Amino acid sequence: MTINIIIDTDPGIDDAVALMLALKSPEINVVGITTVAGNVPVDRATENVLKILRYLGITDIPVYQGAYRPIYGELTDTSDVHGSDGLGDVGLEAPKDYKISDKHAVEFLLRASKEYKDLIVVTIGPLTNIALAILLDKKFSERIKHFVSMCGVYGLTKYGVGNITSRAEFNVYTDPIAAKIYFSTPAIKYLIGLDVTQKPSAMLTAKDRVKMRNYGGIGKLIFNMLRRFRGSVPLHDPLTIAYLLDKEVLKFRELYVDVEVSGIYTFGETMADLRQDIPDWLREGFKAYVAYDIDGKKYKEILFTRLIGRRD
């Protein structure tokens, strides 16, 4: 059965791996890729998508550029993590003849939501484009089969600590107002946060990365993109695609979630209402399915078999 998806992204090393995982999986049909400012400015994000498509030899997937800034706030410099170009400075080249659409990403999201009855939207960057689509068309989110998002940290595991502040995850922190608009919709949302992506069994160890390099091809590319890291490295964004490929890789709980948009010390912090034995009407936030456990071995098997053609 074909899985029709749009990927909303801000590449970013782990975004690039997520794109490659989706594009190397025959059961996934990427109907379009939308870009957003986040790890890098939006022009660079779009260029990085094109670099990945060129590397894979793909010429027929439409690419749409989106929001150039958050609804509120400023972009954070992530060059210490992702390199000056966002892809680890590995020297990938963009195609000279791959034309991006002259339509805005939000226009495409709205149109595609009407054309595809079973569309899944995968968000692996700040939620600015999604929030703008929601604000422009109140029925947009209702037309989406469901969303799968790498966003937030919810205090569900001991690994659930922030990666931009002590309690904030980058994608939400970059545009918390967009995240709040997204959370508030009645759409079905599967939220994958740092609670699971930072579990040690799900992280790429130095040994894993050497294996990838030795297999060559995409494995060597991933190794080089991650070469500045020491020890184990979380690959957050590809987990969204891995979940679409194998539902057993994650476990979810239905929770009420929200995001802090104005605190000095808690700006961008996501919260889950974890109180026991109270009625729903007393809970704070908005309903979503939140990942609380991961089969790290299965996740890495998916990465190795789909991207490299070998088992871990």
Measured distance CA(241)–CA(204) in Å, rounded: 16
Q: Which of the residues 10, 14, 175, 295 is marked catalytic?
A: 10
**Paired residues of 221 in beta bridges:** none
Q: Can you tell me the distance from the alpha carbon of 261 to that of 177, in angstroms, rounded to the nearest whole number?
A: 6
**How many Cβ atoms sit within 10 Å of the Cβ of residue 264?**
5
Residue 104 appears among annotated catalytic residues: no
d(CA 138, CA 240): 25
Question: In DSSP terms, which residues pair with 256 in a beta bridge?
Answer: 287
Rounded Cα gap, residues 64 and 8, in angstroms: 9
Tell me the angle at which helices 238-245 and 13-23 cross, rounded to the nearest 10 degrees: 20
List helix spans (H) across the chain. Answer: 13-23, 42-56, 79-82, 105-115, 128-136, 140-143, 170-174, 176-183, 194-197, 206-215, 218-225, 238-245, 296-307
List the catalytic residue out of 8, 15, 236, 258. Answer: 236
Max CA separation in the chain (angstroms): 59
Q: How many CB atoms neighbour CB 85 within 10 A?
A: 17
The DSSP bridge pattern shows strands 3-9 and 28-35 to be parallel
158 Ramachandran zone, left/alpha/beta (phi>0; psi -120 to 50): alpha
Q: Are the C-beta atoms of residues 240 and 18 closer than 8 Å to each other?
A: yes
15 given a catalytic annotation? no
Active site residues: 10, 236
